A = this chain, B = another copy of it.
């Protein structure tokens, strides 16, 4: 893997797009060669468009000097990262797959499509096999990562699902601002306030985890059968989604055994040496004051999910607090890790040009 592969990034000027560009800077396998945005910004340099948006990322001059393309223009890179909003993604990702691209997408548009893998590599890297089902629909492929809160929740649930089985889950989220994209909530809305509603979020939390933790066999994914009830809140935190989780397991289980399950969780891609995979996928904290968004979100360069306050739940079986860096592990880093998985699993080669 000596040479870096040129990749494209569509939806480059959004919050997730910018973070992807930052993560791609200095990436050992990929090099950002093309960036795209809405027609309004097309033709301008990436840096000028970002400056107008008041976004000042840590990017090198070469990247900032790239000219923004529209999605209609031809794209050279076989691999395209998509950080598009759902609506635009619905209309264009399929077309780009038809043009033969491998779309590694953070958008929600195709996540629940039965032919499209919804992947957290450490948990269900094997689902990537779903991609072969897409060959009848288009020459390219679409691979997706989950919603930002779902990534954190599902990584925290995976050890319990594997070890004991899940019956039902109640999750209440306190989500950071960057999860809302740009511009996100106005300061006047969240100063001295929290918001008890995030459009579409609870539905994703209630449906994506089952697909991710589902079984891939005979070429299709059978979703896991547990239920999730979600209550989502926006809080005045820059980055980091904190989640108060209660779980009922499929069998009677002691809290200490649950802690062991967390500690023993093995990543499915531990041997693949993916550049963006953190040393520890899950970190379990003892201090009852943790995890806290500002103190813990950057563990593992933002790719580690932190779990704390594990204890008995009087309503279900067990409860705990989980934290995910929504913009890294939950979005940009999630997509990047998926692309790395595609590479090592050889799915990049399948994408024709």
Contacts and interface: CB of A to CB of B under 8 A. Distances in A.
A147 to B, nearest CB: 17
B192 A188 contact: no
A196 B242 contact: yes
Interface residues of A, number: 57
A309 B293 CA distance: 26
B287 A196 contact: no
A191 interface: yes
Contacts of A303: none
A87 interface: no
A168 interface: yes
Contacts of A168: 314-315
Contact of A169 (B169, B236, B315, B319): B315
Contacts of A197: 288-289, 309
Given A185-B186, A295-B193, A170 B235 contact: no
Interface string A162-192: 0000001110101001100011111111111
Contact of A244 (B189, B190, B233): B233
A255 to B, nearest CB: 13
Most chain B CB within 10 A, of A51, A193, A316, is at A193
A224 interface: no
A291 B289 CA distance: 27
Interface SS of chain A: helix, strand, loop or mixed? mixed
A206 interface: yes
Given A287-B51, A315-B170, A196 B309 contact: yes
A227 interface: yes
A196 B315 contact: no
Nearest to A167: B315
Contacts of A295: 56, 193
A246 B233 contact: no
Nearest to A323: B196
B314 A229 contact: yes
A236 B191 contact: yes
A344 interface: no
Contact of A188 (B174, B177, B309): B177
Interface string A269-310: 000000000000000000111111111000000000000110
A226 to B, nearest CB: 10
A264 B190 CA distance: 33
B196 A177 contact: no
B246 A170 contact: yes
A260 interface: no
Given A51-B287, A314-B168, A190 B189 contact: no
Interface string A217-256: 0000000000111010101111000101010100000000
A199 to B, nearest CB: 9
A317 to B, nearest CB: 10
Given A174-B174, A227-B314, 19 more contacts: A56-B290, A169-B315, A170-B246, A172-B172, A177-B188, A187-B189, A191-B236, A191-B294, A194-B237, A194-B242, A194-B293, A195-B292, A196-B244, A196-B289, A196-B292, A197-B288, A229-B315, A233-B244, A236-B236
The 8 closest A-B pairs by CB, nearest first: A183-B186, A172-B172, A170-B315, A229-B315, A229-B314, A231-B244, A193-B294, A227-B314
